[in-house]
Structure 1
Amino acid sequence: MTRISPRYLLQFDEPAGYLDFARFGPPSHAVLDTTAALLDQATTAGPSTVDELMRQEIRAKAAAARLSGSDTDHTVLLPHTSLGLFQAAFHSTGEVLVSASEFPANTYPWARAEQAGRLRVRRLTSGYVTSERVADALTPEITTVSVSAVDFRTGYRADLAALRDVVGDRLLVVDGIQGFGVVDEPWEVADVLVVGGQKWLRAGWGTGFAVLSDRALDRMDPVLSGWTGARDPGLFDDEIHPPDATAQAWSISNLSPITSGAFAEALELVEDAGVGAIAARIAERLASFEEVLASCGAEVVSAVDRRAGILAFTLPGHPAEQVGAALANAGIAATVRPEHVRLSPHASTPAAAADLLREALETLTRPRAPLSVPAPGATTHEVLTALVPAIPGLAAMLGPGNEVLLHDLSRLPDSIVAIAGDLTGRSVGGPMTDLLLGLVRRGTTQDLTNYRTHGPDGRAIRSSTLFLRDADGVAVGCLCVNSVDPAASPGGNGEPETFPPDVDSLQRFLVDRAVTKAGIPVDLMKKRHKAAVVRELDEAGYFLIKDAVDHLAGRLDVTRYTIYNYLNEIRA
């Protein structure tokens, strides 16, 4: 096992199952403590407090410069990667080459700059951005090439040195957010290196920096530059000063010194541990995950030879949503996309994470033994079948005003396999409620007992839902009991829940509710409104329904691929 600084490891407390650093990296105790200390200093402000706090920016800039192989004259702090890429785009001229499959933070800035007439965009078709493919796409008109150091979908680590050789005297812009601090790269070959600190650097949101080469400073026109990026920013003489000659020209305004101090602490922790040791530790974790995936019949669909900390996989016969639910049920945080599941561990991820991953996947892949006599307290899919004849008897025992039903979670969403009583007007083959569907989507399969809701006719009812599990503790079904609540007023307060008679009704209800929450008619919706509808429906478990994407695409008047793009952005 790779040796790594104990001081570094003791700084982190995330659960063993947190494997989503490509999305967000939980900050360290040092970052938390520094933030608290600087906030405390700010609350007891004195004559020198502001000047002392502002020195944190110098500290953070120096740490970023050291880690990137540069100096502070070529380094500027930024609140996030997107701003740096927007500045790179609007400060450029000519033609830029950028992959169509980049993360949107590295496509929208160039598109907007083209829209503003600053430059022209040439798109590289989807696939790994290699030096060979870039060389084939280069034309004399191309002045800039923009690339991610690590592809967010596949974890492919671009060969920056080879790209530098191919690009030649053109500008090379590198989005380093998925690799900086966790892989050894020749960052100095980039003309513009932009990095956000909220992921692998574990500094929290609102942190980042850019490093500019002399070539970038000479050729780029810093039109997105504020007063703090001008020469003599403290001279208030009613004149517009020219941009500073250093990377400070990209500064728009002062960053929060509290955020800068936290960022400095996070960067110094990386220095203390060493990027090489961090990278080796992550590689060990990924190798152990690969062994688990192979033993469970999963297929790795991400890069293997040149990769950073990202591993994406599929499990044949099991949709990504189902795999994601099994992982969440086991306490594993991962990114779930329609096409695959993405895991991204860090150096602080314990070896036990591989065991958690194995246990979660085996709940989906382990063959089920034929039913004999179930062990006490255990249940299987076959037990659901055995319970079906008991449902009418249970309802009869409870008497009038009661309803008993059985759901088989493998039949989602039309999961009712037995029902007795007509309290909610449903029948066998009908769907689960919106409340229950949302719980299953989030992997929340704890029993709910004696909660108040109301039926389709407005009658107040009390409900209980008990999850039935197999021998490994995985929820395979649930037994639900609904009873009229004579003590409550019709339509009164209670857990909001809808009892649709069929899947089509459930689909319509969920979409209507999401559109209503958006607060604007579909024909007037912009992209942000439609994306909000997709986010609401994703959280509600809507996409567990067969053909849900096609149905929603028709309702929102977009293509099914647009829905998938929204989902990718939401789950990124």
Structure 2
Amino acid sequence: MVMRIPSSYLVGFHEPEGYLDFGRFGPPSHAVVDTSTRLLELSAAAGPSTVDDLMRQELRARAAAARLCGGDTDHVVLLPNTSTGLFQAALGITGEVVVSRAEFPANTYPWVRAGRAGVNWLPPGPVTPEAVRAALTRGTTAVSVSAVDFRTGYRADLAALREVVGDRLLVVDGIQGFGVVDEPWEVADVLVVGGQKWLRAGWSTGFMALSDRALERLDPVLSGWTGALDAGLFDDDVHPVAEGAAAWSITNLSPIAAGALATALELVELGGVPAIGQRIAQRLDELTEVVRSAGGEVVSATDRRAGILAFTLPEHPASVVGAALVEAGVTATVRPEHVRLTPHASTTDATVARFAEALRGLRRPAPAPPASDVLAALVPTVNSLADALGPGTEVVLHDLAKLPNSIVAIAGDLTGRGVGGPMTDLLLGLVRRGTTQDLAGYETYAPDGRVIRSSTVFLRDSRGVAVGCLCVNSDPRPDAQAAERPPVSAVEAFPGDVDTLQRLLVERAVDAVGVPVELMKKSHKSQVVRVLDEAGLFLIRDSVDYLAGVLGVTRYTIYNYLNEIRS
């Protein structure tokens, strides 16, 4: 049966055409923006009743969350994000907790960091009732799971998990499904939801719903003065914790964020979760057809799917597909292994058409000569151009299809490179980020420290996609002595080979983090990977293995860092 979404719901949204990234962030509705603005203006006109008036937004948000959860306000507490609620649960549980390593890190760190519960890691694969049943032991007190897997879109069978878990606690992260997937949320003992994605409430919004079982068994360790009885009574005493979910309140949250969350949840009620979910499923079907028509493969869940579609295209790395989508004005999540699309009920036909056009552009034969032929035709002009520009000039032609060994022609020896050498770190980073705009007359430094002036023009095929670049480097003072070499961080590297480029990029990233490798913790190593991802290191073949060796981790750890960074 086709369910109709009220037009009053749909007109409340106006994300940019081509936006397909709600699994990462959901642009708030007009109503949420208006509510936030109104409440902020109210706070600016502070008067005797301003704070009390603003704080009423909390009850409004809790009531809306309770209605969608199938519970009541006494079992709901507001949170600024999912991680806070998961840490509260982890600090309140003793015993053994069953968790999947493949969860989004917000679901794994609390159990490890809290240290109050032992962790029994599930084997790779979806969190199914069968996998959980096999992992349960006598010491298991809780099972923690995402309602929707952030990579594959697999929708956990919460009702079946409840049966398997029995009287143990079931902790559910609902951020990738709440408000758009019709699930029996009431079966969760701890349900945590952030509002910045599918709920479209903006950052610093969220809630936690606790069952009676959870309230009886969990110790509210992370609880503050607003989570105590008679919170407004300042008698120099520490009060017992409050009744119900209020015991888990740490402090007053932003009433502006509470108002935004309340408005977003009320919009979900207006649209109706079944109707919203059906509309998203329809868009997923359309996007799936586009992917398959382009010869792509859907690598996300197809049977128990939520709002996530992950795909690959043969002979096109995910980074290339992602760059083409950016060029076409399509916003998606790009990971090393696939591209992830997450549409919403407000996703338009025009957005689907834009995505289809972007994929067709990847496969469409160019009416003009192949890019390789165009670049080959330019090779003889490199020497002529260098001669015309005179002494102290270097002209370099790069073929982006041959990254990282992209130099196909070079005249002049200003930077000491040759044919088959790599592009500079600056250009590699631009290509990685898809920011292939021409650069004119910028200053950099030759390997010996001399100031040189450089210009780069990107060469494009008939579709406007960058396929190469022509660089001109010149020494404005050929007879001048080399200046004192500037700091390494200020130098554009002109390496003679890929190994040198790779080494320089990694050394700079480690220096930027500022912690010796032998003293690095996971957060430092993850930051190194983030810097190098921006710099384009992973466009270099075997760079993951090289970096893994430098950081003293496995290649799979590097891929995990990349997944976290790009999620």
The TM-score, its normalising length taken from structure 2, stands at 0.94
**Aligned pair partner of 2:164 in 163, 166, 171:** 166
Report Cα offsets for 1:169-218 as digits up to 9, x if no partner: 22211110000011111111111111011111111111110111111112
Q: Choose 228-237 or 533-542, whichever is displaced more.
A: 228-237
Q: Which residue of 1 aligns with 2:440?
A: 449
- Matches of 2:102 and 2:552 in 1, distance apart? 24
Q: Which residue of 2 aligns with 1:287?
A: 285
Q: Which residue of 1 aligns with 2:565?
A: 570
**Aligned pair partner of 2:424 in 433, 443, 448:** 433
Are 2:203 and 1:205 equivalent residues in the alignment?
yes
Are 2:459 and 1:498 equivalent residues in the alignment?
no
- Matches of 1:431 and 1:352 in 2, distance apart? 40
**Aligned pair partner of 1:216 in 208, 214, 217:** 214
**Aligned pair partner of 2:455 in 460, 464, 468:** 464
Tell me the CA shift for residue 543 of structure 1.
0.8
Contact 1:452 1:495 in 2 (8 A): no
- Matches of 1:293 and 1:367 in 2, distance apart? 18
Report Cα offsets for 1:252-288 as digits up to 9, x if no partner: 1111111111111211222222222221221121111
Q: Which residue of 2 aligns with 1:323?
A: 321
- Matches of 2:5 and 2:371 in 1, distance apart? 44
Are 2:383 and 1:385 equivalent residues in the alignment?
no
* Shift in alpha-carbon separation, 1:139–1:60, aligned structure 2, 3 A: same
- Matches of 1:539 and 1:143 in 2, distance apart? 42
Q: Which residue of 2 aligns with 1:535?
A: 530
| 1:6 alignment partner AA | S
- Matches of 1:492 and 1:128 in 2, distance apart? 52
Contact 1:324 1:336 in 2 (8 A): yes
What secondary structure is seen at the aligned counterpart in 2 of 1:362?
Answer: helix
Tell me the CA shift for residue 368 of structure 1.
5.5
Q: Choose 189-198 or 324-333, whichever is displaced more.
A: 324-333
Q: Which residue of 2 aligns with 1:175?
A: 173
Contact 1:313 1:341 in 2 (8 A): yes
- Matches of 1:440 and 1:321 in 2, distance apart? 10
Contact 2:182 2:274 in 1 (8 A): yes
Matches for 1:21-170 after TM superposition, within 5 Å: 21-113=22-114, 115=115, 118-170=116-168
| 2:544 alignment partner AA | V
* Shift in alpha-carbon separation, 1:221–1:508, aligned structure 2, 3 A: same
**Aligned pair partner of 2:299 in 298, 301, 326:** 301
What secondary structure is seen at the aligned counterpart in 2 of 1:404?
Answer: strand
Contact 2:80 2:205 in 1 (8 A): yes
What's the % identity of the aligned pairs?
A: 70
* Shift in alpha-carbon separation, 1:2–1:296, aligned structure 2, 3 A: farther
Number of residue pairs matched by the alignment: 562
Q: Which residue of 2 aligns with 1:408?
A: 399
In structure 1, list runs of 5 or more residues that go unmatched: none
Are 2:393 and 1:395 equivalent residues in the alignment?
no
Report Cα offsets for 1:499-520 as digits up to 9, x if no partner: 2221112112111111111112
Report Cα offsets for 1:490-549 as digits up to 9, x if no partner: 679999532222111211211111111111222222221111111111111111111111
- Matches of 2:550 and 2:330 in 1, distance apart? 34
Contact 1:463 1:482 in 2 (8 A): yes
- Matches of 2:558 and 2:204 in 1, distance apart? 29
Q: Choose 424-433 or 160-169, whichever is displaced more.
A: 160-169
Q: Which residue of 2 aligns with 1:423?
A: 414
- Matches of 1:9 and 1:542 in 2, distance apart? 42
- Matches of 1:147 and 1:163 in 2, distance apart? 10
Are 2:513 and 1:522 equivalent residues in the alignment?
no
Contact 2:24 2:197 in 1 (8 A): yes
Contact 1:8 1:272 in 2 (8 A): yes
Q: Choose 7-16 or 17-26, whichever is displaced more.
A: 7-16
| 2:434 alignment partner AA | G
What secondary structure is seen at the aligned counterpart in 2 of 1:172?
Answer: strand
Contact 2:228 2:247 in 1 (8 A): yes
Tell me the CA shift for residue 85 of structure 1.
0.9
- Matches of 2:97 and 2:323 in 1, distance apart? 41
**Aligned pair partner of 2:544 in 528, 543, 549:** 549
- Matches of 2:27 and 2:491 in 1, distance apart? 33
Contact 2:148 2:174 in 1 (8 A): yes
Tell me the CA shift for residue 14 of structure 1.
2.5
Matches for 1:2-13 after TM superposition, within 5 Å: 3-13=4-14
- Matches of 1:128 and 1:88 in 2, distance apart? 22
Report Cα offsets for 1:63-89 as digits up to 9, x if no partner: 111111111011100111011111112
Q: Choose 81-90 or 517-526, whichever is displaced more.
A: 517-526
Contact 2:366 2:463 in 1 (8 A): no
The TM-score, its normalising length taken from structure 1, stands at 0.93
Report Cα offsets for 1:210-262 as digits up to 9, x if no partner: 11111111222222211111111112222222212211111111111111111
What secondary structure is seen at the aligned counterpart in 1 of 2:467?
Answer: strand
Tell me the CA shift for residue 93 of structure 1.
2.5
| 1:247 alignment partner AA | A
- Matches of 1:134 and 1:523 in 2, distance apart? 37
- Matches of 1:389 and 1:362 in 2, distance apart? 33
**Aligned pair partner of 2:187 in 189, 208, 222:** 189
Tell me the CA shift for residue 291 of structure 1.
0.8
Contact 1:460 1:492 in 2 (8 A): no
Q: Which residue of 1 aligns with 2:352?
A: 354
Report Cα offsets for 1:279-316 as digits up to 9, x if no partner: 12211211111111111111111101111111111222
In structure 2, list runs of 5 or more residues that go unmatched: none
Contact 2:382 2:411 in 1 (8 A): yes
What secondary structure is seen at the aligned counterpart in 1 of 2:65?
Answer: helix
What secondary structure is seen at the aligned counterpart in 2 of 1:110?
Answer: helix
| 1:444 alignment partner AA | T
Contact 1:99 1:124 in 2 (8 A): yes
**Aligned pair partner of 1:364 in 359, 362, 365:** 362
Are 2:533 and 1:508 equivalent residues in the alignment?
no
- Show structure 1 runs of 4+ deviating over 4 A: 486-496
Contact 2:172 2:191 in 1 (8 A): yes
Q: Choose 528-537 or 267-276, whichever is displaced more.
A: 267-276
- Matches of 2:535 and 2:230 in 1, distance apart? 54
What secondary structure is seen at the aligned counterpart in 2 of 1:127?
Answer: coil
Contact 2:99 2:121 in 1 (8 A): yes
- Matches of 2:330 and 2:362 in 1, distance apart? 15
* Shift in alpha-carbon separation, 1:219–1:40, aligned structure 2, 3 A: same
Tell me the CA shift for residue 8 of structure 1.
3.0
Q: Which residue of 2 aligns with 1:334?
A: 332
